[in-house]
Amino acid sequence: MSNAKPTNETKTETLPSSAAGFPSISSVAYRIWEETYVGRGVKTLFKLNQPKGFDCPSCAWPDPNPEDVSSIAEYCENGAKAVAWEITKNRVDAAFFQKHKVAELMAESDHWLEKQGRLTEPLMLRPGSDQYEPVSWECAFSEIASHLHRLECPDESIWYTSGRTSNEAAFLYQTFVRMLGTNNLPDCSNMCHEASGVALKQTLGIGKASVTLEDIHQAEVLMVLGQNPGTNAPRMLTELQKLKRSGGKIIAVNPLPEAGLMGFRHPQKPWEWIGKATQLQDIYLPVKINGDLALLKALQKMLWEAEKERPGEIFDQTFIKCHTTGYEQLVSQLDALSLDDLIQASGLPERAIRDAAGLMMHSKRIIIAWAMGITQQRNAESTIREIVNLLLLKGAIGKPGAGTLPVRGHSNVQGDRTMGIWEKMPEAFGAKLGKAFSFQPPLKEGFGTVQSIQAMREGRARVFFGMGGNFALAAPDTELVAEALRNCELTVHVSTKLNRSHLIHGKTALILPCLGRTEEDLTANGRQFVSTEDTAGRVRMSMGDLPPVSPRLKSEVAIICGIARATFGVNHSTPWEEYADNYDLVRDKIEEVIPGFEHYNERIRQSGGFSLPNGARDRNFQTLDGKAQFTVNHVPTHAIEADRFILMTLRSHDQFNTTIYGNDDRYRNIRDSREVVMMNADDMKRKGLKAMDRTRIISYFQGKIRQLEGFSAIPYDIPPGSAAMYFPEGNVLVALDSHSPESHCPASKYIEVSIEKFTP
Ligand SMILES: Nc1nc2c(c(=O)[nH]1)N[C@H]1C(S)=C(S)[C@@H](COP(=O)(O)OP(=O)(O)OC[C@H]3O[C@@H](n4cnc5c(=O)[nH]c(N)nc54)[C@H](O)[C@@H]3O)O[C@H]1N2
Ligand SMILES: Nc1nc2c(c(=O)[nH]1)N[C@H]1C(S)=C(S)[C@@H](COP(=O)(O)OP(=O)(O)OC[C@H]3O[C@@H](n4cnc5c(=O)[nH]c(N)nc54)[C@H](O)[C@@H]3O)O[C@H]1N2
Ligand SMILES: [Mo]
């Protein structure tokens, strides 16, 4: 049932024109009051992102240097919500499961499931049963081991990771999985920034951001494509405010006018709550969905025309000559392209693109930031390579105030990849891992998320293990994923809270409850800490100090070590038990295997941690010829059938991925419901739809349809032909095979749909 209350016509004039400010503070206060004890909540927030505290479990935005950290509050509204959610006073224990069968729980909403509180003990659902029952840890571990022993081949098991897992746990996890003999290590990155990693590695030799926080303050122009920082990386707004105050300009490229890019009031500076907000975006380009590649090409072409008139004034020819390959091919493609076609494909007025080109023309320090609006597309890698082309023409990489900024999602998704969570194990990594642990890692490429779902569906994989996350809801094609998971002999989830993936299970299912970031991790060897890597490649310590919500929780590290001992036997050559008690020993092994972690144990204890090497930052491009690569990419034409729309799925201000805190989306003026589809008012008129009318949405891909009924249409400031709804609800409409070509990133921002009025 949808009872959304968009405040009349949700047009830009009625949308909030700035983010944060006092409403952020009141929203945090409400969440703490609702979820936990006020003292516990406030005390915990003081430790958030502090040098000796814990890393925020929300997004991967970098912390400032220790000297710049605010001693009272280094967090944002949504980080505080994530913490309040973890430290909740509610508990899901054995009595809860005695009361609720799985079928009953299936009828509850995702918000309700997580809202029941923290999981407190290991649980097992036996074949044929409809109820989870408590089990001992030993029993859970031996159940997993016996399923693994029964597999004909280790490739029949799938080992998913969500991006909250610490470096130490991720490293041990992938070591265990590879010792088992498979590279089946899909992760949330497969659905997130995988395309950025692939495209940046090809062109610049490193799949990570090249800029630091200081660079942002020094940029002359910062362009943000397909990202909503006000909601998803709120602490980025503080840095954008600094950029504006030092005279920098911001270009926002987004089909939606997102409040967080319009203006900003620092939530922790009360004097900013009133009066004028800092205006952020200088130029707003309401591109049509996936019109970004055409826009980037149009910008390049405008700059190239100017360069031809005034050679050497617009492009950085010295940089191009010394540090790049492929310039001639790129400019001949630019000559061949028609500017009119590009402008039309972007969906933008020429004037607006010329204004943006004008800002870039004489600027030398340019940063381009992007997120899911760019990566969750069928041609994601090409668009990202075009971002690189634009930066290379301007020599805007590897110098202060310039470079690439793919803004990562989960707080340690980047660190997990550095630790080897990847279905495509690099050869050099495998060789060092094998040497460090005296074994031969498997060479065959493993399954990513999409291939894992296909394998489980077809019975080629029979065990699914989820290290965090909520695979059933996060992955594309909800019904198909459910079929895949139900086809398994065993599904296991290491989790903090109850979620849909526990209810859509294999014949046997296990829930293994783990410590959260905020909690103290005490072992026989004393208090342990872990480490994480942020978007800018800085590695820091994270140490919780709240008493765990239950004495029966284990850390992720201890869980992996327990499973490894049960699987390989107590006499195994790897000292799993010692690792579980002393994370310094794990860090010593990481140092042995992964470059950049020299003196890990020493440097991680320094205030503020340390930065990993970044070739692109130093113009030391780790590509085949040591140069940054210009590339020629095909400009897609978006031929969709008449009367259809392109639909994107995105996050509201009140969720963290599949964790739904509430039903409001404050910055978009949408209240009380997530079951909405945002549409252009003229499109609605054409379809005979009035505000709040129910709809039937049908998605089309390769002859197959998927549909969703009952969602309410709301008029929104969105380009004609484009529509938007929330993730994860929209995943029902995303076809498993609709993904980017190279990284298989599901195209969850590009769904071809028809939208009609629905009368139940
Ligand atoms: N509070 C909170 N923080 C989070 C998360 C969360 O759910 N809640 N999730 C975390 C994770 S895992 C991630 S990956 C990040 C996600 O952070 P974002 O990438 O900001 O997340 P989305 O909501 O998916 O928003 C994508 C933006 O892209 C725009 N967009 C969609 N299609 C296009 C397009 O074709 N072109 C352009 N230019 N723009 C487009 C949308 O309008 C939207 O503003 O945030 C992280 N941080
Ligand atoms: N249609 C559509 N689909 C998408 C997206 C989209 O924009 N549109 N975005 C994609 C993106 S960018 C991502 S990253 C994925 C996210 O996919 P996931 O990472 O799989 O999903 P989350 O919702 O972040 O996982 C939430 C669960 O993690 C568990 N959890 C929380 N904290 C911890 C912890 O400290 N340890 C452990 N072990 N578990 C914990 C809790 O049980 C919680 O229920 O979804 C993707 N799917
Ligand atoms: Mo993500």
Nearest to 164, CA basis, from 420, 416, 497, 535: 416
Distance 655 CA to ligand 3 centre (A): 13
| pLDDT tens per residue across span 410-463 | 999 999 999 999 999 999 999 999 999 999 999 999 999 999 999 999 999 999
Q: Judge contact between 222 and 216, C-beta under 8 A.
A: yes
Atom of ligand 1 nearest to the CA of 285: 38
| pLDDT tens per residue across span 395-412 | 999 999 999 999 999 999
- Retrieve residue 74's tokens: 């280094």
pLDDT for 70 = 60
- Retrieve residue 199's tokens: 């495209």
CA geometry: angle at 752 spanning 750 and 756, to 5°? 130
The mean pLDDT of the chain is 93
pTM of the model: 0.95
Give the number of C-alpha atoms closer than 13 A to the C-alpha of residue 640, restricted to the C-beta side: 19
Q: Rounded to whole angstroms, how far apart are CA atoms 701 and 746?
A: 13
- Retrieve residue 311's tokens: 């050679």
Distance 162 CA to ligand 2 centre (A): 6
Q: Is pLDDT larger for residue 351 or for residue 24?
A: 351
Distance 116 CA to ligand 3 centre (A): 24
Residue 5 reports pLDDT greater than 60: no
Nearest to 505, CA basis, from 37, 150, 139, 102: 102
Secondary structure of residue 655 in the 3-state scheme? strand
pLDDT for 8 = 41
Nearest to 360, CA basis, from 296, 308, 311: 296
> Ligand nearest 659 Cα, by number?
2
Distance 9 CA to ligand 2 centre (A): 32
- Retrieve residue 281's tokens: 């975006």
Mutation test residue for ligand 1: of 12, 58, 59, the one with most atoms within 8 Å of CB: 59
Give the number of C-alpha atoms closer than 13 A to the C-alpha of residue 208, restricted to the C-beta side: 24
> Ligand nearest 406 Cα, by number?
1
Beta strands 655-656; 659-660: pairing state? antiparallel
Q: Rounded to whole angstroms, how far apart are CA atoms 161 and 471?
A: 9
Q: Rounded to whole angstroms, how far apart are CA atoms 37 and 515?
A: 19
| pLDDT tens per residue across span 43-84 | 677 677 777 788 888 888 888 877 776 654 566 788 888 888
Nearest to 187, CA basis, from 467, 375, 515: 467
Distance 376 CA to ligand 1 centre (A): 10
Q: Rounded to whole angstroms, how far apart are CA atoms 598 and 604?
A: 10
> Ligand nearest 731 Cα, by number?
2
Q: Judge contact between 117 and 89, C-beta under 8 A.
A: yes
User: 399 — phi, psi (to 5°)?
Assistant: -150, 160
Q: Judge contact between 668 and 676, C-beta under 8 A.
A: no
pLDDT for 297 = 98
Distance 212 CA to ligand 1 centre (A): 21
| pLDDT tens per residue across span 183-241 | 999 999 999 999 999 999 999 999 999 999 999 999 999 999 999 999 999 889 999 99
User: 540 — phi, psi (to 5°)?
Assistant: -135, 160
Q: In the chain, what percentage of residues exceed pLDDT 90?
A: 84
Q: Rounded to whole angstroms, how far apart are CA atoms 591 and 607?
A: 19
A 10 A CB-CB count for 47 gives 18
> Ligand nearest 665 Cα, by number?
1
> Residue for token digits 């967080």?
260
Mutation test residue for ligand 2: of 109, 120, 496, the one with most atoms within 8 Å of CB: 496
CA distances, 651 to each of 19, 151, 384, 500, 611 (Å): 16, 39, 22, 18, 30
Nearest to 387, CA basis, from 399, 375, 400: 375
Distance 719 CA to ligand 3 centre (A): 25
pLDDT for 39 = 66
Distance 658 CA to ligand 2 centre (A): 6
A 10 A CB-CB count for 420 gives 25
> Residue for token digits 């040098």?
51
Q: Rounded to whole angstroms, how far apart are CA atoms 419 and 289?
A: 34
Q: Is pLDDT larger for residue 10 or for residue 569?
A: 569
Which residue has the least CA distance to atom 32 on ligand 1? 373
pLDDT for 433 = 98
User: 243-247, 273-277, 509-513, 622-626 — which is least confidently predicted?
Assistant: 273-277
Which residue has the least CA distance to atom 10 on ligand 1? 409
In order of start, what are the domains of the chain with their CATH numbers?
142-186+412-597 (3.40.50.740), 194-406 (3.40.228.10), 645-757 (2.40.40.20)
Distance 472 CA to ligand 1 centre (A): 20
Q: Judge contact between 724 and 650, C-beta under 8 A.
A: yes
Nearest to 185, CA basis, from 195, 175, 198: 175
Q: In the chain, what percentage of residues exceed pLDDT 70?
A: 93
Classify the phi-psi angles of 125: left when phi > 0, otherwise alpha if psi is within -120 to 50, otherwise beta: beta
Protein residues placing their CB within 5 Å of the ion ligand 3 = 192, 409
pLDDT for 57 = 84
Distance 232 CA to ligand 3 centre (A): 10
Distance 750 CA to ligand 2 centre (A): 20
pLDDT for 268 = 66
Q: Is pLDDT larger for residue 54 or for residue 299?
A: 299
pLDDT for 9 = 46
Query: What are 739's strand-pairing partners?
Result: 746
- Retrieve residue 341's tokens: 């076609």
Q: Rounded to whole angstroms, how far apart are CA atoms 519 and 44?
A: 10
Which residue has the least CA distance to atom 46 on ligand 1? 409
> Ligand nearest 512 Cα, by number?
2
349: preceding bond cis by omega (within 30 degrees): no
Atom of ligand 2 nearest to the CA of 163: 19
Residue 3 reports pLDDT greater than 70: no
User: 2-16, 97-111, 314-328, 667-681 — which is least confidently predicted?
Assistant: 2-16
Concatenating the DSSP letter of every residue in 143-175 gives HHHHHHHH-SSGGGEEEEE-TT--HHHHHHHHH
Which residue has the least CA distance to atom 44 on ligand 1? 228
Residue 724 reports pLDDT greater than 60: yes
Q: Rounded to whole angstroms, how far apart are CA atoms 723 and 227?
A: 16
Residue 19's pLDDT band, with cuts at 50, 70 and 90, is confident
- Retrieve residue 596's tokens: 């950049």
CA geometry: angle at 615 spanning 609 and 620, to 5°? 145
| pLDDT tens per residue across span 136-154 | 999 999 999 999 999 999 9
pLDDT for 47 = 72
Instruction: Tell me which amino acid residue 553 is.
Output: L
Report residues whose beta carbon is within 6 angstroms of any ligand 2 atom.
114, 162-164, 188, 191-192, 372, 376, 409-410, 467-471, 474, 494-497, 499, 514, 516-517, 556, 649, 657-659, 727-728, 730-731, 734, 748
> Ligand nearest 530 Cα, by number?
2
Question: Which helix (H) or strand (E) element contains residue 118?
Answer: strand 118-119
Secondary structure of residue 48 in the 3-state scheme? strand
Secondary structure of residue 700 in the 3-state scheme? strand
Which residue has the least CA distance to atom 37 on ligand 1? 226
Residue 85 reports pLDDT greater than 90: no
Residues, the chain: 760
Check residue 152 and report its DSSP letter: S
Query: What are 263's strand-pairing partners?
Result: 279
Distance 405 CA to ligand 3 centre (A): 15
User: 20-24, 74-78, 391-395 — which is least confidently predicted?
Assistant: 20-24
- Retrieve residue 324's tokens: 């790049």
Q: Judge contact between 229 and 261, C-beta under 8 A.
A: yes
Q: Judge contact between 367 and 211, C-beta under 8 A.
A: yes
A 10 A CB-CB count for 705 gives 12
Residue 690's pLDDT band, with cuts at 50, 70 and 90, is very high
User: 18-22, 553-557, 674-678 — which is least confidently predicted?
Assistant: 18-22
Distance 407 CA to ligand 1 centre (A): 10
Mutation test residue for ligand 1: of 190, 471, 651, the one with most atoms within 8 Å of CB: 651
Report residues whose beta carbon is within 6 angstroms of any ligand 1 atom.
58-59, 78, 192, 225-228, 231-233, 253-256, 258, 287, 289-290, 292, 371-373, 409-410, 648, 650-651, 655-657, 749
Atom of ligand 2 nearest to the CA of 501: 44
Distance 468 CA to ligand 2 centre (A): 8
Distance 713 CA to ligand 3 centre (A): 27
Q: Rounded to whole angstroms, how far apart are CA atoms 442 and 444?
A: 6
Mutation test residue for ligand 2: of 81, 162, 496, the one with most atoms within 8 Å of CB: 162
Q: Rounded to whole angstroms, how far apart are CA atoms 56 and 79?
A: 6
pLDDT for 168 = 98
User: 80-94, 413-427, 470-484 — which is least confidently predicted?
Assistant: 80-94
| pLDDT tens per residue across span 240-253 | 999 999 999 999 99
Q: Is pLDDT larger for residue 40 or for residue 92?
A: 92
Which residue has the least CA distance to atom 30 on ligand 1? 373
Secondary structure of residue 513 in the 3-state scheme? strand
